[in-house]
Structure 1
């Protein structure tokens, strides 16, 4: 690692400033290496505060079709702060437009690719159906242009096929606790992350009603269409919905759970991206119940950490949960195997050092 402290500008206008990859993994890793961080994000729009030890700059939020104001604000920021930075780390494809034409006027620009934006267009309700194919083509073109002008950092090995050049990969791993977590209990099911239809929100509501003997805890903000249903289910005692919780508080609710849910739909973006929530469950000693997106299947099979059920099959998910609840040996073996696998293979305690090395290398290019 470099012995020189770098000035790193981290920018997002799309992600929640509490995004775990940005806020709880990348920024701490850079700070632990002695680097100074300026974090520009939509703090006010999300109701978030700036992390301790970081210089924060508030930006507008890019959401739905309202994105241009945020892009323009980000461009002004990059022009103002970028020349005095050593590295600029961008987290949204929107910011490729904000940084267009600035590569020679500011510090080296790095785009952290942690979503397949073109594949995800099928889940964006604000995109008209007629525009999805041309927009996907435009996104792919933007990706080609980006790798000519900027540095790329990939969060998934599968993303390599989208690009012509070789780019470093730092997986979207999690911080795995050094001590083995407490064993899973018999009656509490958890979900951690944003709640949406595409992420199985309606199936989780149905599942809580189908298995009333278990307690369901859903932790995370929900899309507008599901909020009334979740609030009603919470009031009726069918489940506990915590809405947004800070990362540390959310993770603290995982140990001791019977199972963690990841009932994602059959969407192209989910097939190529590892659901981080699965890794977080396993890292905290919680067996998983997942739908069969390929990356999820690979993780469950390699780790031995849980069960895979068909898309949209609430009955199959209920049966998987009841099997775990009835068999202590089964759930403990799944938890132990899953924890051991992610500790060895999907661990930010190791990957964080590689991330810092990559960013430091970009600063010298």
Structure 2
């Protein structure tokens, strides 16, 4: 297949998009065109992937990014088998785009990969005025149900099914479990991996690091929202913690090995109540004990598998106490690490699910071809193409 993967919101090195889905397709021998904001994020396409530059959509005005994405989709669609969209915003381009496809005489299989509870996520968008949030939530729910009538849907969580009238396949945010035995958890370093925001508990991580003092090194890996960047930079400068900023997925995951604990201090937000934090599964896969707040899916994982400790929301002192407990009890942290690794290996390993994801797209293309669509040609994608 020839697959066009598009995002104007996510980082081009996003783990789900690049390191799971695109990698799985490339390994199966499919040809990938990856349209993303490479320049805005300061990265280049990976080898084996044809990169196409798009503007980044950020903040309130996303029109330029959507116009550019719409032009690309309209021109490239007839030349690919699958268009895989990763932003709900890109659905807004489809009415005009599909008209262009009909005039060209061929439409690709269009798939929306549903990463989050879009309406619930609005609560955390500081650029959305408070008075607009309730009507926007209603509008988004209606748009989601409309979308499922016109495009294929992949869901990242089983819990997302309730938002839609039909049943859609689920491609979970599982981790790629590293081969071989993991490094045993140490006693002097904890890690936070992921995007950094108030709602994700980054200021709690900073306060927890101050409470722990020099006995435990706190490492923070990820891109930070503007309103917490100053606090992180100051804590880094003072030596309270080590902030690496954004690291490519492979380098970020390498920092997990041998850590005393992995942190997930999400706040109680609607968007987190139905989502399994990917970082928790990554910690488990790398044999790292988990310290998490009681978001339902994270706490259920930790308590069911005995792979860490659950602390209250917004309580840095409790998080520091949990880290000290793991530090003082080698048996506890080794049992937690082993149980988490085993659970990830047996039931949350992307290596197992990757083939199912690829087979879904292949099946949809075969179904579309059987319905009379012309085969894809190999015409190049129009746009600023980057070497990959």
Provide the TM-score with structure 2 as the length reference: 0.91
Contact 1:303 1:342 in 2 (8 A): no
Q: Deviations over 1:2-32 (max 9, x none)?
A: xxxx000000011010100001110010001
Is the Cα contact below 8 Å between 1:186 and 1:258 reproduced in 2? yes
**1:72 Cα offset (Å):** 1.1
Q: CA deviation at 1:252?
A: 0.5
In the TM superposition, residue 302 of structure 1 has moved relative to its aligned partner by 2.2
What are the Cα deviations for residues 79-130 of structure 1, in whole angstroms up to 9, with x where unaligned?
A: 1110010010000000101122544632010000011110111110000000
Partner residue in 2 for 1:119 = 120
Quick one: distance in 1 between partners of 2:244 and 2:275?
A: 26
* Alignment partner, residue 89 of structure 1: 84
Correspondence list, 1:88-107, <5 A: 88-103=83-98, 105=102, 106-107=107-108
- Partner Cα distance (1:216, 1:148) in 2: 47
Aligned residue number for residue 3 of structure 1:
none
Q: Give the corresponding residue for 2:376.
A: none
Q: How does 1:144-183 map to 2 (within 5 A)?
A: 144-183=145-184
Give 3-state SS (helix, strand or coil) of 2:64's partner: helix
Shift of 1:318: 1.1
Supply the distance in 2 between the matched residues of 1:50 and 1:314 (Cα, whole angstroms). Answer: 39
**Correspondence 1:18-37 to 2 at 5 A:** 18-37=13-32
Q: Secondary structure of the equivalent of 1:28?
A: helix
Shift of 1:141: 1.1
Work out whether residues 9 and 38 of structure 1, in 8 Å CA contact, stay in contact via their aligned partners in 2.
Answer: yes
User: How far did residue 178 of structure 1 move?
Assistant: 2.0
Task: State which of 37, 40, 65 in structure 1 corresponds to 2:35.
Answer: 40
Counterpart Cα distance in 1 of 2:142 and 2:71: 24
The equivalent residue for 1:204 is 205
Partner of 2:354: 352
Shift of 1:47: 1.0
Paired residues of 1:279 and 1:342 also in contact (CA < 8 A): yes
Matched, 1:185 2:186: yes
In the alignment, the residues of structure 2 paired with residue 89 and residue 285 of structure 1 have an alpha-carbon distance, to the nearest angstrom, of 32
Q: Structure 2: how far apart are the matches of 1:102 and 1:57?
A: 18
1:241 paired residue among 231, 243, 247: 243
CA distance in 2, matches of 1:171, 1:332: 27
Deviation at 1:316, TM superposition (A): 1.1
Matched, 1:67 2:62: yes
Q: Deviations over 1:298-356 (max 9, x none)?
A: 11122211011110011111111101000000000000000000111111001111100
Unaligned residue ranges in structure 1 (runs of 5+): 1-5
Q: How far, CA to CA, are the matches of 1:169 and 1:231 in structure 2?
A: 38
Determine helix, strand or coil for the equivalent of 2:34. Answer: strand
CA distance in 2, matches of 1:172, 1:93: 18
- Greater relative CO (CA pairs within 8 A, separation 6+): 2
Q: What root-mean-square deviation, in Å, do the aligned CA atoms of Structure 1 and Structure 2 show?
A: 0.9
Structure 2: segments with no counterpart, 5+ residues: 369-388
Output one character per residue of 1:60-94: Cα deviation in whole Å (capped at 9) or x when no partner. 11111121111111111011110010010000000
